[in-house]
Amino acid sequence: MSETQVKENQAPQFYLTEDHHPENSTMLGFWLYLMSDCLIFAVLFATHGVLGRNYAAGPSPADLFDLKIVALNTAMLLFSSITYGFAMLQMERNARMETLFWLGVTGVFGAVFLALELYEFYHLILEGAGPTRSAFLSSFFTLVGTHGLHVTFGMIWLVTLMVQVKKHGLITENRRRLMCLSMFWHFLDVIWIGVFSFVYLLGALV
Amino acid sequence: MSAHPLPSHESASETHHAHSHGHGAGHGSLKSYLIGFVLAAILTAIPFWLVMDGVLDSKLATAVLVMGIGAVQIVVHMVYFLHMNPRSEGGWTLMALIFTLVIVGIALAGSLWVMHHLNTNMMPMTQDMMKNMP
């Protein structure tokens, strides 16, 4: 009795014939993760809101921030959002090379964003306005640095997925992963709206 | 160019909704991505212009406008890039979002409110105390 069962089980049977759309709860689960990430940023925003005017007789945002670089940074992140959207559209068309191309363009914009942010941080620290200078700068580096860290991990994820798509094509698993990264990437752009409005523009204003 | 007549806007959006029914992240179309991009670019440019060129005399008005436009841009990103709609995942993504927004509101407003009161109720510091600070 058990033998026949084993024999039946030996022939692998897959019922997942539908591979066009992943119908599962991964997207909802990933959305919940993003919401918890949102809480992390909310707490960091609150910290910056409380400490953002405590300069300890040090430099104020108006002395430090170069809004032209911030505007360029914002443009880079916005461009990377739309190019990731183009990659998703190509993925739906099942065009592997085009998807890879737009993912690559997204990666370039993301890398330029990170380079500009590191350049800004480097100059701030060089001017003596590092995270240890005042409470304002501590909260600034924590908030913007956490966002930059997210973008860095998004870049690692992006490159990993490009290798996966190159190797295995646009299979169901890779589509699901690309959709998760899409949400992550657009979410980071949403957080950046808060950063440039609340930290940079309002900071430079007062 | 195909020989078929292009579907009207209504029917196109109808088929789109039917297509994306039940997914967490519905799919956008080229058109929706471009609309979102143009809106986001405009909504980014306005606050930078307001602050960098000092358009308004009142700083308070500028600050309120910057934050207001930022909030609108977040909604634009949610709708056109993250494809949020009340139907995705049976409404659970929206529920999670609303819950998060409530918590974010409590955390932000509560922190600012409490810390502001702590600051204003602090004993004012005299020059003498300043000198003897550790």
C-alpha separations of A153 from A97, A110, A175 in Å: 23, 11, 19
pTM of the model: 0.82
How many domains, chain B? 2
The reply to whether B101 falls in a domain is yes
CA A28 to chain B, closest CA, distance in angstroms equals: 6
CATH code of residue A156: 1.20.120.80
Say whether both B80 and B91 belong to one domain. Answer: no
- With contact defined as beta carbons under 8 Å apart, do A56 and A134 qualify? yes
CA A104 to chain B, closest CA, distance in angstroms equals: 18
CA A30 to chain B, closest CA, distance in angstroms equals: 9
The reply to whether A166 falls in a domain is yes
Residues of B in contact with A46 (CB under 8 A): 107-108, 111-112
Strands (E), chain A: none
CA A34 to chain B, closest CA, distance in angstroms equals: 10
Q: Determine the pLDDT at residue A17.
A: 52
The reply to whether B133 falls in a domain is no
Domain span at residue B29 reads: 25-84
Of A171-175, B40-44, B52-56, minimum mean pLDDT range: B52-56
The reply to whether A194 falls in a domain is yes
Residue of B nearest to A198 (CA): B67
Q: In this prediction, does ipTM exceed 0.90?
A: no
pLDDT tens per residue across span B64-76: 999 999 999 999 9
The reply to whether B5 falls in a domain is no
The reply to whether A143 falls in a domain is yes
Residues of A in contact with B29 (CB under 8 A): 89
Residue B3 neighbours by CB under 8 Å, 6+ apart: none
Mean pLDDT over the full length of chain A: 90
Q: How many CB atoms lie within 10 A of CB A44?
A: 20
Say whether both B103 and B55 belong to one domain. Answer: no
CB contact under 8 A, B22 and A23: yes
CB contact under 8 A, A190 and B59: no
Q: Which one of A38, A81, A201 has the shortest CB-CB distance to B100?
A: A38
Report the C-alpha gap between B100 and B104 in whole angstroms. Answer: 6
Q: Please state the separation of Cα A126 from the chain's center in Å.
A: 27
Tokens 């068309």, residue?
A: A93
How many domains, chain A? 1
Residues of A in contact with B100 (CB under 8 A): 35, 38-39
Nearest to A74 by CA among B63, B29, B69, B62: B69
Of A74-83, B9-18, B63-72, B107-116, minimum mean pLDDT range: B9-18
Domain span at residue A137 reads: 67-206
Q: What is the mean pLDDT of residues B41-69?
A: 93
Nearest to A99 by CA among A89, A108, A109, A107: A89
Q: What is the mean pLDDT of residues B88-92?
A: 82
Identity of the residue numbered A21: H
Q: What is the mean pLDDT of residues A35-56?
A: 94
pLDDT tens per residue across span A121-153: 999 999 999 999 999 999 999 999 999 999 999
The reply to whether B74 falls in a domain is yes
